[in-house]
Amino acid sequence: MSRCRARATSSISMRRPDLPRSMTQSGTICARSSSTSEAAMPARERHAQAHEAWAREQSLLLDEERRSAGHRRSRTLRVFALRIGVLAGFLVLWSAASGRLIDSLFVSDPISVARSFIQISLDGTLWWHLRITLLEMTLGYILGVAVGVGLAIVVSLIWRGEQIVRPLMLGVFAIPKVALAPLVIVWFGIYLLPKVILAASLVLFIVYFSTLAGFAAVNRDLVASVRVMGASRAALFLKLILPSAAPYIFSAMRITLPGALIGAIIGEFVSSNRGVGFLIAYASSRYDTAQVFAAILSLLMFSLILNAIVSRLEKYVARWRSEEPQWGPA
């Protein structure tokens, strides 16, 4: 920098007319470059300060996120501990009441139920009957969901279709399925098919009405905008209407999951020689209350597992819908 100033001083003081103009202006160029570098120094410092401020802000956000995650884990552990406490309290009250306040013939006791559960699990009785019930429930559940969603799609595509079919669907839905069970057994026999139909009947209607509610909840302005863009009727339905109704469909699937199990058990109660419903009926006829509760416990555990799977799938679909690009103006 001092060298440029010396060159500028010497070039200005010793300028001669016979020297080229470019040589006499070399000191001026050096002076300009030095002033530019001096002006650039504060810009670099400002950039460094901005970067440090951004880094501090990111660190604070990360610390806050870690604290929030810690609070969520703490709340989850507290809820889990409360559930364990409630379950333990129920078992203690059950043990205290059995044989003292209530005859153990009617309610058994937790230790006898656990012993019976282990016994029928080890000898394979529970798993053989549970396999039959789960097959009936799964087939009925899939059939009910497929028919419910498919029927809702067909009805929604027909002009005035929902108004035409609605009274009939409501009438059949209001009939107690227990009253239909003997007829279904007479029509389709005592084997697998009637249990599947009964399981599907407790799933179909709720899925159907929930799917129609999902179709009706679609934003009509959004539908009009997509139509203006030139989308075909099939593309409009597959890419907008059906995905928008997905939360309604999955909510109905989660709600009707126990219904499919109930339908299969009802069919086994009415007429069957296998399945968990038959196992419960057979144990009741022998006044083996512990085995009845053991079979019910196996159904409870399986229902909780299936509900967790469907809830997980529902969350995955909801996250996928939130990440996909949205239609409409920005």
Which 3-state string (H, E, C) describes the chain? CHHHHHHHHHHHHCCCCCCCHHHHCHHHHHHHHHHHHHHHHHHHHHHHHHHHHHHHHHHHHHHHHHHHHHHHHHHHHHHHHHHHHHHHHHHHHHHHHECCCECHHHHCCHHHHHHHHHHHHHCCHHHHHHHHHHHHHHHHHHHHHHHHHHHHHHHHHCCCHHHHHHHHHHHHHHCCHHHHHHHHHHHHCCCHHHHHHHHHHHHHHHHHHHHHHHHHCCCHHHHHHHHHCCCCHHHHHHHHHHHHCHHHHHHHHHHHHHHHHHHHHHHHHHCCCCCHHHHHHHHHHCCCHHHHHHHHHHHHHHHHHHHHHHHHHHHHHHHHHHHCCCCCCC
Tell me the CA distances in angstroms from 265 to 121, 206, 279, one per residue in order.
19, 19, 10
Nearest by Cα to 87 from 276, 257, 297: 297
Tens digit of each residue's pLDDT (9 = 90 or more) over 42-53: 666 767 777 777
Tens digit of each residue's pLDDT (9 = 90 or more) over 137-174: 999 999 999 999 999 988 888 878 778 888 888 888 88
Whether 268 and 281 have beta carbons less than 8 Å apart is answered as: yes
Whether 140 and 200 have beta carbons less than 8 Å apart is answered as: yes
- Give residue 329's pLDDT: 42
Domains of the chain by residue range: 2-63, 107-323
Confidence of residue 323 (pLDDT cuts 50, 70, 90): low
Q: Whole-prediction pTM value?
A: 0.68
Tens digit of each residue's pLDDT (9 = 90 or more) over 274-311: 888 888 988 888 888 888 999 998 888 888 888 788 77
Average pLDDT, the chain: 78
Question: Is pLDDT above 70 for 34?
Answer: no
Q: How many residues does the chain have?
A: 330
- Cα distance between residue 289 and residue 284, in whole Å: 7
Four-residue CA torsion sign, 3, 4, 7, 8: negative
Q: Which CATH fold topology does 107-323 show?
A: MetI-like fold (1.10.3720)
- Give residue 328's pLDDT: 44
Tens digit of each residue's pLDDT (9 = 90 or more) over 93-126: 988 888 788 887 888 888 888 998 999 889 888 8
Q: Specify the amino acid at residue 283.
A: A
Confidence of residue 208 (pLDDT cuts 50, 70, 90): very high
